[in-house]
Amino acid sequence: MLLNKLMPLGIPLAWLNLIKEKKRFFAAVAGITFAVTMMMFQMGLNSALFKQVVGPHAEMAADIFMVSSQYEYLGVSKGFPLRRLVQAEGEPGVAQTVPLYVGSLPMLNTANRSTREVFIMAWDPAVQAFDDEEIESQRWKLKREGVALYDRLSRPELGPFVQEVDETGEAVTEVANRRMAIEGLFSISPTFVADGNMLTSADTFLPLWPGGDPSVVSLGLIRLEPGTDPAAVVAGLTDYLPDDVRVYTRQAFLDYEMQYWRERTPIGFVITASMAVALIVGAVIVYQILYTDVNDHLEEYATLKSIGFRDSYFTSVILQESVILSVFGFIPGTLFTWVLFYFTRQIAHMATYLSLLNCAIIFGLTLFMCLTAGALATRKLRHANPAEIF
């Protein structure tokens, strides 16, 4: 019954109208494909960027994080007294605390003798600080002073260390003009803070860090006993400890870090603006195609209107064309995005993947874009007088 109402002539008029001018049809599909690709790529890039910025945090073996009250983000991690972690160990439910020291230091690229900043995270390798199995299996190497593990996903501009470790098992460089032996690899990926990551022991890192003091901690990792409520422990520590530290549950800390980059950098605005531009461009292209289609068939529509067809029928035809265009543009747009995501993962080492949620959102935006353009394109037809047309 519904199908008969939508197509009373018994033929898919919307489809026939579109394919009558094949060049125009493919131009419309190409425009929508561009809009879909741009929107979906920007959305995937946005998700990947903010996942990447908390890449190191997500690998840390902690249920609760302790930071300085002046903490901004991991790359600018102002320290707090080590005794705050010692005090936290007295809180019911706390199983272990691990002080972490972080900072960026210049590292020598042995291939071209240039230097670039590498982000270093250091702790006592006698205890676990990361949940990553690759790091956990190699942390014993860090017990020797001057030994480090290196992120294989670091940008190649830092040096050929990944290839050297793969081939010989070791790469030698200089960090802050001190010899450093890289004896293992792990995978976290670069962040906004630095182009690459390195892990060392606190005994190796602190002499390199200006004014390095083991009693001043950059980040405190707190692990809880099984079954303990993290929110309750955070509340207890917040009431108990002085105001020179802040305490977060794991998820709250990750959210805080991502929120910092969303608010303090133009990344979120740029990506949103790019999606808006793609939406507008796509809508304009669809509007022009459908408006031209209405003009080309105005006499036929007027004939049908004169014998009793209502405006709602013509509107439904144009909106059907809008839906067809959105589907035909969405499919290749998704495929192109998948290809772009693949190359982005290979070249930039960013976790860009298609997700059902993102696909659903982009299809909804595409459908909205096409239907809006279609509705605007029918204005001339709705106000047309058959007598005037003939």
- Residue-wise pLDDT for 316-369, tens only, equals 888 888 888 899 999 999 999 999 999 888 877 777 888 898 899 999 989 998
What are the structure tokens assigned to 112, written together? 């071209």
Distance CA 35, CA 369 (A): 10
For the chain, the average pLDDT equals 85
**Percentage of the chain surpassing pLDDT 70?**
91
What are the structure tokens assigned to 390, written together? 């003939």
**Percentage of the chain surpassing pLDDT 90?**
45
CB-based contact 187:153 (threshold 8 Å): yes
Distance CA 295, CA 83 (A): 78
pLDDT of residue 61 exceeding 50: yes
- Residue 151, class by beta-carbon neighbours within 10 Å (0-12 exposed, 13-18 middle, 19+ buried)? buried
CB-based contact 104:194 (threshold 8 Å): yes
Classify 97 in phi/psi space as left (phi over 0), alpha (psi -120 to 50) or beta.
Answer: beta
pLDDT of residue 193 exceeding 80: no
Q: What pLDDT, in 10s, does the model give residues 260-308?
A: 877 777 777 777 788 888 888 888 888 888 888 777 777 776 676 767 6
- What lies within 8 Å, CB to CB, of 321 at 6+ separation is 14, 17, 18, 290, 293, 374
| Domain layout of the chain by residue ranges | 2-53+266-389, 70-242
Burial 228-256 (b: 16+ CB within 10 A, else e): bebeebbebbeeebeeebbbbbbeebbeb
Distance CA 369, CA 374 (A): 9
Confidence of residue 231 (pLDDT cuts 50, 70, 90): very high
The larger pLDDT score, comparing residue 61 to residue 374, is at: 61
The larger pLDDT score, comparing residue 301 to residue 377, is at: 377
**DSSP state string for 93-157:** TEEEEEEEEEEEEEEE-TTT--EEEEEEEEE-TTS--B--HHHHTTGGGGGSTTEEEEETTS-GG
The larger pLDDT score, comparing residue 267 to residue 11, is at: 267
> For position 389, what pLDDT does the model report?
47
> For position 8, what pLDDT does the model report?
52
Q: DSSP 3-state assignment of 107?
A: strand
**Residue listed under structure tokens 């600018």:** 76
Which residue, 228, 233, 231, is CA-closest to 251? 231
pTM of the model: 0.74
Average pLDDT over residues 193-201: 88
- Which ranges of 137-244 does DSSP label H, i.e. alpha helix? 161-168, 202-205, 230-240
pLDDT of residue 7 exceeding 60: no
